[in-house]
Amino acid sequence: MVKYIATVLVDDVYMSVPNEDTLTTAITGFSADGRVMYMLDSRLGNTAALYTKNMATGETDLVFEHPKADVSGVMAHPVTNEIEAVSANYKRTEWMVLDKEIEADLAYLRTVENAEVNVTSRSMDDTLWTIAYTLSDGPVKYYLYDRDDRSARYLFSNRPTIEGLPLAEMHPVVIESRDGLELVSYLTLPYGSDADGDARPDGEALPMVLLVHGGPWARDRFGYNGTHQWLSNRGYAVLSVNYRGSTGFGKDFINAGNFEWAGKMHDDLIDAVDWAVAEGIADEQRVAIMGGSYGGYATLVGLTFTPDTFACGVSIVGPSNLRTLLATIPPYWAPVMKMFTTRVGDPTTEEGLALLEERSPLNYVEKIERPLLIGQGANDPRVKQSESDQIVEAMQAKNIPVTYALFPDEGHGFARPENRTAFNAVAESFLSQHLGGRYEPIDDDLLPSTIQVPTGADGVPGLADALPTGTVK
């Protein structure tokens, strides 16, 4: 069935998009002659579908929609800019051909590598294409494709230093939430632990790290993931879950997360842990929760709202109090403040303020029973240092142990390689202590970094001795 959208220009407003569609509706481009506009739109359905609009008549036609995933990419002719293929990413990226002229090309390209295909550029005469192949257990591989000869020549990879290494494969899995939502997730097992490739360990259940993505209006996806590789190399199963509120799966899935921070969004994470335990993947007594930004918040929620579920937690730049988080949003975030108030909680109303306080881990510090490692950048403009300071101080006041790693030259996450290495060295020693996986002792890994540990250095094996001279412990 063809769908139509009417666009009306009223008071200089070209198009009106309701709040529930703002993350799944956008103008994406125009044909070369400017007569056709391309846009993603969810206003007439659930997922972001691809539409064309005739700029002369205003008529808008549906080109393609996926029942479970938003349109995530298009292939356009290099001269006319007419769309020839479109992709959607549910578990993995799938390309649907719209123009039969390139059908045989894509069919051939799928035979070159067992990986996701992405056409990155095309010559103006359209005889040569550059292709990127995305794998989960190796670097992105680039090829030059000759359409006349129908042949592809390998060029290079984006990370030659990891070519040929024994890396673990990522498995897309779909986990059902307690209320029936499909949670597209990604599981990585240690290399060599899954001989038949069924995404289940050959032997006993493994210690597991639940790795929670930030945003929360973002998503995990298939492909090479350095954190998955690092943790699986240390002997852990690693599970990343697209909990409700994640993007890419339609507006209904996003909007199901409205006002559900520490609510149903956290239930999804617990359901994923329960699934992994039931499937014989995870040892129930040895599951950690770890993440950055919203993932850091989810870690704090995990240790306060469900204190018996996780053996330990690693929170990186995670907000501890939603009220203070919204009160310190930087000025350049002002245009998206409306999204926070309509999806997280409105601090200008009594009801909204009560919800923010109810869902803030800081208010439940006394429930923390399991070890916690916190990482923070002192210059973070999004999640201020005060978010970590205040929960550390509250834990200290109640004599609850915590290890706090502070980097004075970092912002929202750790950008400097020396600081990332330092924090990872601390984190893997911490995880080893509580989950039992392998780790490399902390030697001189901290020296090039700016790491400070205001409290809890003695709580991580080797950390106190490895800290640079003069660092607060």
**Residue-wise pLDDT tens digits, 169-211:** 999 999 999 999 999 999 999 999 999 999 999 999 999 999 9
CA distance 353 to 336: 18
The reported pLDDT for the residue numbered 426 is 98
Token digits of residue 107: 């069919």
pLDDT-derived band of residue 20, with 50, 70 and 90 as boundaries?
confident
For the cut 90, the answer to whether the pLDDT of residue 1 exceeds it is no
Signed CA dihedral, 412, 418, 420, 423: sign only: negative
Average pLDDT, the chain: 94
Tokens for 48? Answer: 């972001």
Reported as a pLDDT band with limits 50, 70 and 90, residue 429 is very high
Please tell me the predicted confidence (pLDDT) of residue 4. 47
| Tokens, residue 173 | 């899995």
Residue 470 pLDDT level (bands cut at 50, 70, 90): low
Inform me whether the pLDDT recorded for 3 exceeds 60.
Answer: no
Token digits for 24? Answer: 């799944």
Q: Sheet holding 170-176: strands in order across?
A: 170-176, 182-188, 237-241, 206-212, 282-292, 312-316, 372-377, 403-407, 452-455
Q: Read off the pLDDT of each residue in 52-60 and give the average, rounded to a whole number.
A: 92
How is 400-431 classified by DSSP, letter by letter?
Answer: ---EEEEETT-BSB--SHHHHHHHHHHHHHHH
> Which active-site residues does the annotation give?
293, 380, 412
The backbone torsions φ and ψ at residue 111, rounded to the nearest 5 degrees and listed phi first, read -90, -15
d(CA 270, CA 262): 11
Amino acid (1-letter code) at residue 18: P
* Span 301-328, average pLDDT: 97
Burial classification of residue 411, based on how many CB atoms lie within 10 Å of its CB (0-12 exposed, 13-18 middle, 19 or more buried): middle
pLDDT at 471: 59
Q: Nearest Cα to 112, choosing from 51, 83, 154?
A: 154
Report the predicted TM-score, pTM, of the whole model to 2 decimal places. Answer: 0.93
pLDDT at 321: 98
Biggest CA–CA distance in the chain, Å, is 72
- Model confidence at 19, pLDDT cuts 50, 70, 90, reads confident
Cα 126 to Cα 29: distance, rounded to the nearest angstrom: 20
- Tokens read off for 39: 């846009």
CB 176 within 8 A of CB 183: yes
Per the CB < 8 A criterion, the answer to whether 289 and 212 are in contact is: yes
Amino acid letter, 426: V
- The whole-angstrom separation of Cα 149 and Cα 152 is 9
Give me the phi and psi of 459, to 5 degrees please.
-85, -5
b/e code 84-96 from CB counts within 10 Å (16+ = b)? bbbbbbbbbbebe
Q: Which pLDDT band holds residue 464 (cuts at 50, 70, 90)?
A: very high
3-state secondary structure of 395: helix
pLDDT for the residue numbered 8: 46
Q: Which residues contact 425 (CB under 8 A, 6 or more apart)?
A: 440, 442, 445, 446, 466
Closest C-alpha to 102, from 79, 81, 115, 83:
83
pLDDT in the model for residue 339: 85
Cis, bond preceding 160 (omega within 30 deg of 0): no
Pairing between strand 312-316 and 282-292? parallel
pLDDT value, residue 10: 45
On the question of pLDDT at 381 being above 70, the answer is yes
* Cβ neighbours for 335, distance < 8 A, ≥ 6 positions apart: none
